[in-house]
Structure 1
Amino acid sequence: MTDMHADVRPAAVASVSLAAPIESFAARLGDSFERYGFAVVSDHGLSPALIARAEAASRALFALPDAVKRRYHRPGTGGARGYTPFGIETAKGAQAVDLKEFWHVGRELPEGHRYAGLMAPNIWPEAPEDFRETFLELFAAFDATGARILAAIALHLGLDRDFFVDPVADGNSVLRLLHYPPVTGDGPSIRAGAHEDINTITLLLGAEEAGLEILDQDGQWLSVTPGEGELAVNIGDMLQRLTNNRLRSTTHRVANPASARRGVARYSMPFFLHFRPDYRIETLPGCIDAAHPNRYPEPITAHDYLMQRLREIKLL
């Protein structure tokens, strides 16, 4: 297997602390999103104890027998909730499947909610026993942190800091538990093929293990390796579209490990923060001018855009 890391240098993405006043880091965060589409965030409010509980529960889940995990797989649903087995998801335009299995936890909606027909109920495994409690708590924590990051993005764009509160209220966000097994042989597949995220912003826990790489504007792959407990945060296609490509949804991948780490599994937990399903993604007027004509003159709802993209990556 070719060592994909040989010529990959670190990306100079911004590293910001959410403990600072929002005005002091909004510009740095926004500039990093414009340049790289990524930033690293510390002091994000997710408690180390909760992260440790979630990591333990995720490892216990994926250690279950394959037959048990497959009881929670619902073919034809786009992997929206529950388990998606190893070797199904494929990056857009790719032929080789990704080397991963995953589990999705979505937003819990009260009975009769207006989005109940668009957002499936969660699927909960019988074990580990604290799974539901742990991941609902983590989902809520991610939601709160994402809101703080979106407020900083709004300020960077010259908008009211609360601009994104309504667009993401009851949004179709998804917490994904990811397991990349040890790489045991050569072949065309990598842990996660080159892709862009569909959603608004992504907050990723567990990227300390090398492998997360972003494609720079000059066509070079750059590594992004947060410190322990820090978040890698990136712009998704929905926000890129809303901002007329001012904020970049950067192509990224999870490369196979260097030879010395091939026998080590990788676990991570990305939170894909979404707009509410009926939010119309319509280019912000402040992101259109003579030098930047509107690339997306036809608005589209967040739900319709999501369905379009899920078909492209073969989850529907």
Structure 2
Amino acid sequence: MTFHVPLVDITPYVTGGTGAERAAVARAIDDACRTVGFIQITGHGVPAAVIAGLEASIDGFFGLDLDVKNTYRTPPEINRGYSPPKSESLSLSLGVEQASRMNDFFEAFNVGATAAHYPHVAHLDPIDYADNVWPDVAGFEPAVSAYFGEAARVARTLTDIFADALGIDRAFFDARTDHSLDVLRMNNYALPPGTDVTLDGDLIGMGEHTDYGIVTVLWADRVAGLQVLGSDGSWNDVQPAEGALLVNLGDVTARLTNEQWMSTLHRVKPPVIDGTIRRRRSAAFFHDGNVDALIETLPQCVDPQHPAIYEPVTVQEHIRAKLAGSRAGVRNETADRESARVLSSDRY
């Protein structure tokens, strides 16, 4: 069976389509969430100028000397700032790697929603809603902030579509995302000068993982590297269509739907050509939900034939266990279902 990521035009939800048009979009999204867990969306309304500003900012920051970039590092528990190559291992977020060494050669820069984004909420945890670290790169902060706002709008549009597709009130997601843990991670897959990375058959740009939250909105170069795990255990190359954003579900949504909707495993393995990694850039916006939101399976997704798979957990408990794996090298012991899928894939 040929692996295919569906392409869905969400214009009716962005510019105000008819009820019938929105219903057709919701059906298409529902089918994609049940069968693939990855979607390409067009009609998202993100201006080309905003995307161009994001690209220029990514190039400006990652073009700095490694010593300069390292001045923007933060402690592992603070999901902000710079992550150099081989400082993370995403597969440890699933508890897969037996060794604790950090393998992934990508470098990244994170910004996120701070306590100041949510003045209506008192006493937000300074670890989860940490202030951003802004690099001294011309135009970086306004350009990245502009894209962050657009990606947040798209993510919230998607949760409206999700609610319609699941037949629940849109207030369900609104109540769980009014101070959402939102993070934009800008990734650079290349080998900067001065890094100790060997080009060999085991080289991993970003290890096998599922995303952690409700939904991820991904802008990416149209360069090979992203691979998605199919239902048959095969890894499949995925590139966005021209002008499209990639969307995938996270673990929170899989838990809500009792895995009727899929939090799909994926990884990044950019090609090595003549001993050089072909550069690839991406920016993933993670819409994870309120830190104190309790994630419980929706009643309509449970019946005698399909009992609840997961115990209730707060977003904070779930996200911190995942981050402790990927950023601090602490093997996640709570991801048995996800790790079993990796271990049964063609990688092993």
* TM-score (norm. length: structure 2): 0.82
The unaligned stretches of length 5 or more in structure 1 are 1-8
Q: Secondary structure at the match of 1:165?
A: helix
Equivalent AA in structure 1 for residue 214 of structure 2 = T
Partner of 1:268: 282
Q: CA deviation at 1:223?
A: 2.2
Equivalent AA in structure 1 for residue 71 of structure 2 = R
Residue 103 to residue 10, structure 1, CA distance change in 2 (3 Å): farther
**8 Å contact 2:199–2:275 — kept in the other structure?**
no
Residue 74 to residue 294, structure 1, CA distance change in 2 (3 Å): same
Q: Write out per-residue CA displacement over residues 77-126 of structure 1, whole angstroms, 9 at most, x where no aligned residue.
A: 25x01111111110222356111000001013327843243311111112
- Please give the alpha-carbon distance, in whole angstroms, between the structure 2 residues aligned to 1:284 and 1:67: 48
Q: Aligned residues: percent identity?
A: 33
Q: Write out per-residue CA displacement over residues 237-265 of structure 1, whole angstroms, 9 at most, x where no aligned residue.
A: 11111111111111111123163794421
Q: How does 1:146-165 map to 2 (within 5 A)?
A: 146-165=155-174
- Please give the alpha-carbon distance, in whole angstroms, between the structure 1 residues aligned to 2:198 and 2:278: 10
Q: Secondary structure at the match of 2:184?
A: strand
Partner of 1:18: 10
- Greater fraction of residues in helix: 2
Question: Is it true that 1:71 corresponds to 2:63 in the alignment?
Answer: no
Q: Secondary structure at the match of 1:275?
A: strand
**8 Å contact 1:10–1:223 — kept in the other structure?**
no
Residue 59 to residue 215, structure 1, CA distance change in 2 (3 Å): same
Paired residues, number: 305
Choose the corresponding residue for 2:298, options 284, 293, 314: 284
Choose the corresponding residue for 2:219, options 197, 200, 205: 205
Residue 231 to residue 294, structure 1, CA distance change in 2 (3 Å): same
Choose the corresponding residue for 1:179, options 188, 191, 197: 188
Partner of 1:114: 123
Question: Is it true that 1:129 corresponds to 2:138 in the alignment?
Answer: yes
- Please give the alpha-carbon distance, in whole angstroms, between the structure 2 residues aligned to 1:62 and 1:140: 22
After TM superposition, the structure 1 stretch with the greater mean CA deviation from structure 2, 54-63 or 89-98, is: 89-98
- Please give the alpha-carbon distance, in whole angstroms, between the structure 2 residues aligned to 1:240 and 1:153: 12
Structure 1's consecutive aligned runs of 4 or more residues displaced over 6 angstroms after TM superposition are none
Equivalent AA in structure 2 for residue 124 of structure 1 = W
* TM-score (norm. length: structure 1): 0.90
Q: Secondary structure at the match of 1:310?
A: helix
**8 Å contact 2:77–2:323 — kept in the other structure?**
no
**8 Å contact 2:226–2:270 — kept in the other structure?**
no
Cα RMSD of the aligned pairs, angstroms, is 2.0
Q: CA deviation at 1:203?
A: 0.7
Q: Write out per-residue CA displacement over residues 26-68 of structure 1, whole angstroms, 9 at most, x where no aligned residue.
A: 1111111111111110111111100001101111100111111
**8 Å contact 1:242–1:281 — kept in the other structure?**
yes
**8 Å contact 1:256–1:262 — kept in the other structure?**
no
Q: How does 1:1-316 map to 2 (within 5 A)?
A: 11-20=3-12, 21-78=21-78, 80-90=79-89, 91-92=91-92, 93-94=96-97, 95=99, 97-110=103-116, 113-117=122-126, 118-126=128-136, 128-181=137-190, 185-257=199-271, 259=273, 262-296=276-310, 298-315=311-328
Q: CA deviation at 1:155?
A: 1.2
